[in-house]
């Protein structure tokens, strides 16, 4: 699929199915391998200090992990849910939220897909980083579960 | 302060300072000791399965911890931020989100307040639970940092 079409389809999917993503202004910046990026403006997501609200950062990171897995699996008859996550806030985010989901290690992704196809259910850990310039402000680890419908 | 006035003031504070809380429909159900409760409707916060979106659950839990600490400290010249958190999703939340922040243990809260007053900075761990009926669906642990302005 054309990269821009995939990006737009993924964004529409998030907005239609998870409406708070629209209220947060979440956009899909890129679905490309190694550069999977979700963004959200500070205006809708600031806190009492004028920096990004921790809950919004966690929600955008959760969406980034979810969306990457949805796109990489490319399995229409599949539900993905989050089982657990942990997030650390190192520095305030002072401008647009830019959440990059790291590509899963192929050594983990291949057995994950095998298990999903064989047992209809598999889990995978993903990492999302939110940076400003060269500085990592937030790191998120989430365990996602994919289930055949 | 009258409990209902405190509840309304806390809700207005969240909506004014953290605007996504208004978009999420977050309401302060109670500020009372032992029953601190934030709610949010499923309508604004559902996912692709019609249950509560994990990112919304995390955001409401973060707000519950933040708001409890703000109310219990009752220190106007204080900023509170979140340093890290972890969340586990045991069961889907299928109706209104009801996030209860547990009261901090007095054996932790008293030294936290002493440290805050002496050094202008202190950290405290809080637990938030989201339940439906008797069933705990989500458990959140967050470390919050209070700083004198």
pLDDT tens digits along B54-76:
999 999 999 999 999 999 999 98
- Nearest Cα residue to A3 out of A25, A26, A36, A27: A36
pLDDT over threshold 80, residue A67: yes
- Chain B hits for A85, Cβ within 8 Å: 54, 58, 86-87
What are B130-146's pLDDT values in tens digits? Answer: 999 999 999 999 999 99
Question: Cα separation of A135 and A92, whole Å?
Answer: 10
Region B24-38 average pLDDT: 96
pLDDT over threshold 90, residue A84: yes
- This prediction's pTM: 0.96
pLDDT over threshold 90, residue A7: yes
Cβ separation A18–B79 shorter than 8 A: no
Nearest CA in chain B to A65: B55
pLDDT score recorded for residue B3: 85
Question: Cα separation of A61 and A138, whole Å?
Answer: 9
pLDDT score recorded for residue B70: 95
Question: Cα separation of B39 and B97, whole Å?
Answer: 5
* The two structure tokens encoding residue A140: 């998120």
The beta-carbon neighbor of A56 closest among B59, B61, B79 is B59
- Nearest Cα residue to B10 out of B84, B101, B123, B116: B101
pLDDT score recorded for residue A2: 86
- Nearest Cα residue to B145 out of B58, B105, B93, B85: B85
Please check whether residue A60 is in contact with residue A130, taking contact to mean a CB–CB distance below 8 angstroms: yes
Percent of chain A exceeding pLDDT 90 equals: 95
Backbone angles phi, psi at B54, to 5 degrees: -55, -35
Residues 6+ apart with CB under 8 A from A87: A54, A57, A58, A61, A138, A139, A140, A141, B84, B85, B86
Whole-Å CA distances, B130 to A44, A52, B58, B96: 25, 24, 10, 10
Question: Picking from A46-50, B62-66, B119-123, B134-138, which range would have the lowest pLDDT averaged per residue?
Answer: A46-50
Count other C-beta atoms under 10 Å from residue B53's C-beta.
Answer: 29
Cβ separation B87–A88 shorter than 8 A: no
Please check whether residue B17 is in contact with residue A47, taking contact to mean a CB–CB distance below 8 angstroms: yes
pLDDT over threshold 80, residue B116: yes
pLDDT over threshold 80, residue B1: no
Mutation site for A-interface testing, chosen from B13, B15, B55 by largest number of A Cβ within 10 Å:
B55
Cβ separation B17–A47 shorter than 8 A: yes
pLDDT over threshold 90, residue B99: yes
Question: Cα separation of A73 and A51, whole Å?
Answer: 34
Region B99-114 average pLDDT: 97
Res. A76 pLDDT band, cuts 50 70 90: confident
Q: In what order do the strands lie in the sheet with A97-101?
A: A27-30, A37-40, A97-101, A121-132, A135-148, A78-89, B78-89, B135-148, B121-132, B97-101, B37-40, B27-30
Region A84-88 average pLDDT: 98
The beta-carbon neighbor of A56 closest among B20, B44, B45 is B20
The beta-carbon neighbor of A89 closest among B24, B44, B82 is B82
The chain-wide mean pLDDT, for chain A, equals: 96
Distance from CA of A115 to the nearest CA of B (A): 22
Residue that is written with structure tokens 């539900």 in the block: A79
* The two structure tokens encoding residue B145: 């940092």
Res. B13 pLDDT band, cuts 50 70 90: very high
Res. A1 pLDDT band, cuts 50 70 90: confident
- Chain A hits for B13, Cβ within 8 Å: 48
pLDDT over threshold 80, residue B128: yes
pLDDT score recorded for residue A3: 85
The beta-carbon neighbor of A82 closest among B17, B82, B89 is B89
What are A122-144's pLDDT values in tens digits? Answer: 999 999 999 999 999 999 999 99
More confident position, A99 or B1: A99
What are A99-122's pLDDT values in tens digits? Answer: 999 999 999 999 999 999 999 999
């Amino acid at each position: 699929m054309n990269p821009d079409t995939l990006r737009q389809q993924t964004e529409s999917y998030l907005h239609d199915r998870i409406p708070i993503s629209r209220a947060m202004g979440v956009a899909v910046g890129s679905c490309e391998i190694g550069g999977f990026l979700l963004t959200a403006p500070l205006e809708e997501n600031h806190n009492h200090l004028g920096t990004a609200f921790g809950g919004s950062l966690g929600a955008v990171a959760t969406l980034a992990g979810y969306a990457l897995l949805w796109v990489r699996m490319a399995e229409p008859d599949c539900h993905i849910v989050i089982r657990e996550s942990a997030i650390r806030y190192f520095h305030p985010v002072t401008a647009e939220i830019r959440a990059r989901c790291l590509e899963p290690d192929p050594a983990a992704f291949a057995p994950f897909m095998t298990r999903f196809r064989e047992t209809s259910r598999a889990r995978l850990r993903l990492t999302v980083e939110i940076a400003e310039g060269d500085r990592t402000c937030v790191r998120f680890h989430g365990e996602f579960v994919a289930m055949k419908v």
